Structure 1
């Protein structure tokens, strides 16, 4: 994408946000944004062919980029890893000040025809967080980390949308509780691996899952990952 195209898309997105409160993420919002930004409507439609859905997706991705900028500037050296995750989620939520734009986007991506796009965006956010925090997993844990964090992030955003406590204090307390739930689950998994009976029951599924690999950084097929049978010969 050329710098000029990127610039036009950013102009349209910035011009669209004030209209979202009235028209949501929609064709009407794109039309008004094109008018305000002085962009030909045909060009605007070419840049955002799915109109509101594409605008909302661009808005979400811009929030991800702002989160990454804030993470890069933050000093988290003294934080426990669980606190780093909570801090990153908080930075992502705080990266966008227009709560109504997020609310309209959540409603849009809750529609059946847009649910896939919404899920992909949330997964992308959580992938960005794990990568920014230095995750190097290359097995099934790559998926479970992002799936678990997607649940934490999604539920926290929904809580935040209805939170009117000072400085969103109730939201951050909710986030801490969700992180604690995840840590309890991780402890349970560790106990299963140590248990003399349960560990043997888990051995079969674990052998199958050991063949699951994270997506390659550069691959020719747009697939979520790979699986390879393990060599059991000695």
Structure 2
């Protein structure tokens, strides 16, 4: 895992838009059954990519979006392309960091790591990316925007996509109803660990890493399979709101 600051990846593939610049969330580039989605229009991609480079200094703010537009020689009116405002910038960051996990962490074919350890390594790498990209000091504010009622569905969906990405990259090949349960559980683990990280003052976020270890240990089905549609439906009904609140969302 990288430990020094690194440039945010430029997103040129795997992200699509409809009438608005909202990002498509599906991880499709592993499957031969789904073509890669079209990229964002060049203008939105250029502005958001430049704005992300300014987040360490300006935060996830309108100022960062405006500076990103000016850096690409676009007028302030161009920001009308982002109907969700600052959240479009936050969402773009979430998606780009999820997509970059496959490059950030790669396992050798003959490595001895078990599935659970791979899940932990990938989860920690994604959390560490907030530090490496120097956005950790602004992340509480980002969570505030994610907690707005109109942004909660997209935020939770992206969280689920991240859990799916981690399990896939860890080598999970099982296709049964446990697929849903494991991803729901990992979503909860990630959300609570990210919130903990925002208040962690320990050197190198050591306390956060230990917290992640404990949370993964609590999930006894990590790496296993828990079948039953009713069991999963009951889990989500009982924990969906709690999961949103764990990620700092005001629901």
Identify the residue that residue 12 of structure 1 maps to in structure 2. Answer: 48
Q: What is the TM-score when the length of structure 2 is the normalising length?
A: 0.65
Identify the residue that residue 34 of structure 1 maps to in structure 2. Answer: 69
TM-aligned CA deviation for residue 19 of structure 1: 5.2
Identify the residue that residue 216 of structure 2 maps to in structure 1. Answer: 179
- Determine if contact 1:12/1:44 at 8 Å carries over to the other structure: no
- Determine if contact 1:67/1:88 at 8 Å carries over to the other structure: yes
Report how many aligned residue pairs link the two structures: 192
Identify the residue that residue 123 of structure 1 maps to in structure 2. Answer: 160
Q: RMSD in angstroms over aligned alpha carbons?
A: 3.2
Q: Runs in 1 of length 4+ with deviation above 6 angstroms?
A: none
Aligned pair partner of 2:90 in 45, 56, 64: 56
Q: What is the TM-score when the length of structure 1 is the normalising length?
A: 0.69
TM-aligned CA deviation for residue 70 of structure 1: 1.4
- From the superposition, tell whether residues 15 and 142 of structure 1 become closer, same or farther in structure 2 (CA, over 3 Å): same
2:200 is the alignment partner of 1:166: no
**In 2, Cα distance between equivalents of 1:34 and 1:145:** 40
5+ residue gaps, structure 2, are: 1-15, 17-37, 234-251
Higher relative contact order (CA 8 A, sep 6+): 2
5+ residue gaps, structure 1, are: 191-204, 213-234
2:104 is the alignment partner of 1:70: yes
TM-aligned CA deviation for residue 181 of structure 1: 0.2
- Determine if contact 1:21/1:100 at 8 Å carries over to the other structure: no
Identify the residue that residue 222 of structure 1 maps to in structure 2. Answer: none
CA deviation vs aligned residue, 1:91-112 (integer Å, no higher than 9, x gap): 1111233202332221111222
TM-aligned CA deviation for residue 186 of structure 1: 6.5
